Amino acid sequence: MKINYIRVSTSTQNKDVQEFNLSSDYKVFKETCSGSIAFQERSQGAKIIELVKEGKVEEILIHDISRIGRNNLDVLSMIQFFTLHNVNLVSRREGLSTMIEGKPNPIASLIIGILSTLAQHELDRMKERRNEGIARAKERGVYSSNGGNKREETREEFLAKDSTKKIVKFLKEGNSLRRVASLSGCSLGKVQKVVKILGGAPEPEPKAKKNKVNSSSNLRDNYIESLEELDSLDVIDKSPSQWLKENRVITPQIKVNLENETEEERKEWERMIREQNKNT
């Protein structure tokens, strides 16, 4: 029996690169597992070992040496095991065969030893980079030892965030949820989360009362009162001099005595009255 052994570390990896256009003499064994797992501890690896022990296997075809393992001792021990049982291990990428005409290939054993050492070195480097990443994460305070799952944030911690405070501020101003999201630069989902945590949108803050003098309604009322006062004084229907003689006032609040005024002074009063009527 000839075997084509295929191994990938994750289910997302492409197995096609390890599949060859082989004859029907080859039986394909596929599995998904880490290369750090010993060959004999793998489900398909254990089956192959049993077939080898029974003397049913003459050749094992692999894509590269790392398919057998990434640990030096594991790889070399498996090659020795296959050689003792007269099984030729063929690595397509390296172009190596452990057996030539039924005899061990010393050159292949030497090269395989070097390749497995390199594979072991790469594995060690990966572990070193992983540990360095964990150390940096711990320094930043973002590392979690529970598989990367973040600790659930408390209500107080969430509301203490600057972004949350912005959302609450804009909600209190009476803005819509979408406008709050736009003003705060946060997502609509986060705004909805704030509203949910607060048990509803906060009550809008009462607006400061405007000064009566600046109120448009008060200005309108004052204007109407002024017109009523003018109507009662009958300013429009009478000439300034006639009105002065009859009422002797220029406004309802200012009384004047014209008996001792000169002609120039009377003309000045009349001019002032005309200007006031024009402004009104």
Q: Domain total for the chain?
A: 3
| Residues sharing a CB contact under 8 Å with residue 17, sequence separation 6 or more, in sequence order | 63
Residue 8's pLDDT is 87
Shared domain check, 251 and 191: no
Residue 253's pLDDT is 42
> How many residues in the chain?
280
Shared domain check, 55 and 6: yes
Shared domain check, 69 and 24: yes
Strand order across the 2-8 sheet: 26-32, 2-8, 59-62, 88-91, 96-97
- Inside any domain, residue 138: no
- Judge contact between 102 and 151, C-beta under 8 A: no
Tokens coding 21: 């256009």
Residue showing tokens 């809008």: 204
Q: How far apart are CA 12 and CA 191, in angstroms?
A: 36
As beta bridge partners, residue 249 has 255
Our measurement of the distance from residue 272's CA atom to the centroid of its chain's CA atoms, rounded to an integer in Å, reads 72
Shared domain check, 63 and 14: yes
For 208-251, write each residue's pLDDT tens digit.
555 544 555 565 555 555 555 545 554 445 555 565 556 554 44
- Inside any domain, residue 131: no
For 239-280, write each residue's pLDDT tens digit.
555 655 565 544 444 445 555 567 777 777 778 777 777 766
Shared domain check, 173 and 274: no
- Inside any domain, residue 18: yes
- Inside any domain, residue 216: no
Q: Tell whether the model's pLDDT for residue 54 goes beyond 70.
A: yes
Q: How far is CA 41 from CA 33, 131, 268, in A?
A: 10, 26, 119
Three-state DSSP class for 7?
strand
Q: What is the mean pLDDT of residues 125-135?
A: 86
- Inside any domain, residue 140: no
Q: How many CA atoms lie within 13 A of 102 on its CB side?
A: 0
Shared domain check, 244 and 177: no
Shared domain check, 59 and 118: yes
Say how many C-beta atoms besides its own lie within 10 A of residue 167's C-beta.
27
Percent of the chain with pLDDT over 70: 69
Residue 96's pLDDT is 84
Q: Tell whether the model's pLDDT for residue 139 goes beyond 60.
A: yes
**φ, ψ (nearest 5 deg) of residue 156:** -65, -40
Residue 79's pLDDT is 85
Shared domain check, 248 and 164: no
Q: How far apart are CA 176 and CA 163, in angstroms?
A: 17
Shared domain check, 260 and 177: no
Shared domain check, 92 and 41: yes
Expressed as residue numbers, the domain containing 170 is 155-198
- Inside any domain, residue 231: yes
When pLDDT is cut at 50, 70 and 90, the band that residue 35 belongs to is confident
Shared domain check, 231 and 274: yes
- Judge contact between 250 and 256, C-beta under 8 A: yes
When pLDDT is cut at 50, 70 and 90, the band that residue 17 belongs to is low
